[in-house]
Chain A
Amino acid sequence: MKGDYEAVIGLEIHVQMSTRTKMFCSCPVEFGAPPNQNTCPVCTGMPGVLPVINARAVEYAVKAALALGAKVNLKSVMARKNYFYPDLPKGYQISQYELPLAEGGQVVIETENGEKVIRLVRLHIEEDAGKLIHDEKGESLVDLNRAGTPLMEIVTMPDLSSPQEASAFMREVRKIMRYLGISEGDMEKGHLRCDANVSVRRRGEAQLGTKTEVKNMNSFRFVEKALEYEIRRQVQILEEGGEVVQETRLFDPSTGTTRSMRSKEEAHDYRYFPDPDLIPLVLDKNWVDRIEENLPELPRAKKERYIKELNLPPYDAGVLTETKEIAEFFEKVVAEGVSPKKASNWVMVEVMRIIKEKELNIRHLALSPSSLAKLIRMVEEGKLTGNMAKDVLDVCASTGKDPEEVAQEKGYEVLSDEGELESVVRKIVDEHPDEVQKYLSGKDKIIGWFVGQVMRELKGKADPRKAGELVRRILNEKKGS
Chain B
Amino acid sequence: MDLYRLGAWQLRELLKKREVSPLEVVKALLQRIKEKDGRINAFLTVDEEGALEQARRSEALIQDVEQYPLAGVPVGIKDVLVTWGLRTTAGSRMLENFVPPYDATAVKRLKEAGAIIIGKLNMDEFAMGSSNENSAFGPVHNPYDLQRVPGGSSGGSAAAVAAGLVPVALGSDTGGSIRQPAAFCGIVGLKPTYGRVSRFGLIAFASSLDQVGPMTRNVRDAALLYRVISGHDPADSTSAQLPPHDVLDVVENSQSLKGLKIAVPWKELEGADEIVKDRFERVVETLRSLGAEVGEVEMPSFRYAVAVYYIIAPSEASSNLARYDGVKYGLRIEGEDLVDTYFKTRGRGFGREVKRRIMLGTYALSAGYYDAYYLKAQRVRTLIKQDFENVFAEHDLVIMPTSPTPAFKIGEKIQDPLTMYLNDIFTIPANLAGVPAISLPCGFSPEGLPVGFQFMGPLFKEDVLFAAAAAYEKARGEYFNRVAEI
Contact = CB atoms under 8 A, between A and B. Distances in A.
Given A91-B319, A271-B366, A273-B370, A44 B234 contact: no
A50 interface: yes
Given A46-B329, A91-B325, A92-B319, A52 B365 contact: no
Contact of B234 (A52, A84, A273): A52
Contacts of B208: 276
Given A47-B88, A278-B237, A273 B319 contact: yes
B100 A92 contact: no
A269 interface: yes
A47 B237 contact: no
A46 B234 contact: no
A277 interface: yes
B98 interface: yes
Nearest to A41: B102
B322 A91 contact: yes
Interface in B88-138: 88, 90, 95, 98, 100-102, 104
B82 A48 contact: yes
A53 interface: yes
A48 B323 CA distance: 11
Interface size class of A (residues with CB under 8 A): 20 to 34
Interface in B192-212: 199-204, 206-208
B370 A45 contact: no
B316 A49 contact: no
Contacts of B100: 41, 46-48
B322 A276 contact: no
A382 interface: no
Contacts of A46: 82, 100-102, 323, 328-329
B343 to A, nearest CB: 11
A104 interface: no
B322 A92 contact: yes
Interface in A254-281: 269, 271-273, 276-279
A332 interface: no
A150 interface: no
Contacts of B338: 86, 140
Interface in A78-101: 80, 82, 84, 86, 89-92
Nearest to A83: B322
B264 interface: no
A277 B316 CA distance: 10
Nearest to A40: B102
A52 B237 contact: yes
A92 B81 CA distance: 22
A82 B362 CA distance: 10
A271 B363 CA distance: 9
Interface string B170-205: 000000000000000000000000000001111110
Contacts of A276: 206-208, 238, 316
Contacts, number: 103
Interface residues of B, number: 44
Contacts of A84: 322, 325, 342
A271 B362 contact: yes
B389 interface: no
A185 B316 CA distance: 35
Nearest to A81: B319
Given A80-B319, A82-B322, A91-B322, A48 B235 contact: no
B64 interface: no
Contacts of A86: 325, 327, 338
Contact of B237 (A45, A89, A92, A279): A279
Contact of B81 (A48, A82, A272): A48
Nearest to A82: B319
Nearest to A44: B328
B319 A50 contact: no
Given A41-B102, A47-B203, A50-B199, A89 B323 contact: yes
B413 to A, nearest CB: 28
A308 to B, nearest CB: 48
A142 interface: yes
A141 to B, nearest CB: 11
B374 interface: yes
Contact of B328 (A89, A277, A278, A279): A89
B101 A271 contact: no
Interface string A276-289: 11110000000000
B367 interface: yes
B89 to A, nearest CB: 10
Interface in A25-61: 41, 44-53
Contacts of B366: 269, 271
A279 B359 CA distance: 26
B116 to A, nearest CB: 22
Interface string B294-334: 00000000000000000000011011011101011100000
A199 B234 CA distance: 47
A50 B315 CA distance: 18
Contacts of A48: 80-82, 100, 104, 199-204
Nearest to A45: B323
B234 A91 contact: no
Contact of B315 (A52, A89, A140, A273): A273
Given A50-B235, A52-B235, A273-B374, A90 B322 contact: yes
Nearest to A86: B327
B236 interface: yes
Interface in A142-166: 142
Interface string B224-258: 00000000001111100000000000000000000
B327 A53 contact: no
9 contacts: A41-B101, A45-B323, A46-B82, A48-B81, A49-B201, A53-B237, A90-B323, A276-B316, A277-B207
Given A47-B98, A50-B237, A273-B316, 13 more contacts: A45-B323, A48-B80, A48-B100, A48-B201, A50-B236, A82-B318, A84-B322, A86-B325, A90-B323, A91-B319, A142-B327, A276-B208, A278-B237
Interface of B: 80-82, 88, 90, 95, 98, 100-102, 104, 199-204, 206-208, 234-238, 315-316, 318-319, 321-323, 325, 327-329, 338, 342, 362, 365-367, 370, 374
**6 closest residue pairs by CB, A with B:** A91-B322, A276-B207, A271-B365, A276-B208, A48-B201, A47-B203
